[in-house]
Structure 1
Amino acid sequence: MKTLIDYLNAIPVEARDSFAARCGTSFDYLRQVGYGNRACTERLAINLERESGRELVCELLCPDADWAFIRAAPPPGRRRGRARNRTT
């Protein structure tokens, strides 16, 4: 897995602001997170994973969150397992 700084440094200069905007922040803020001067929030970690095509992963960006629980949880309103046909 790439580190955030490695990933950011590989983005072409002309695409950096666009990438940061899609993540909901500025490129300067992303660099601060990458260097450890700012914390990576759960929301930012999710945005970074999505926008990097999973080259960056939440678990490494924001290790204090319980990502194992989140990844295993079904979306609200849905249950795990096979759907049952109910007849009334």
Structure 2
Amino acid sequence: SHAIRFHLVPGNLHISSQTVEEGEARETVATEYAGDEVEIGFNAQYLQDFLNIASDGQISFEFKDGNSQAQLRLASDTDYDYKYVVMPMRL
């Protein structure tokens, strides 16, 4: 499975992934998130597809809850010229 888990808490994004072949990885990133604690899973390849075309800079990651689609865009793109919609995976 190429699942990646996002655990959001105010101020931090905890990212984790685990596979039999590769083992386990964890990372924490500071964010501007101020909502309720939420956990969302995604196919890592879909997120990588977006990050491969995104230029350097901040990414805006918008979602309603852990079960609904998420939208990614460059934070500097305030006109929403390019947005990438990705569906979550069940964890």
Superposition TM-score, scaled by structure 2 size: 0.24
Structure ranking higher in strand proportion: 2
Choose 1 or 2 for highest CA Rg. 1
Bigger share in helix: 1
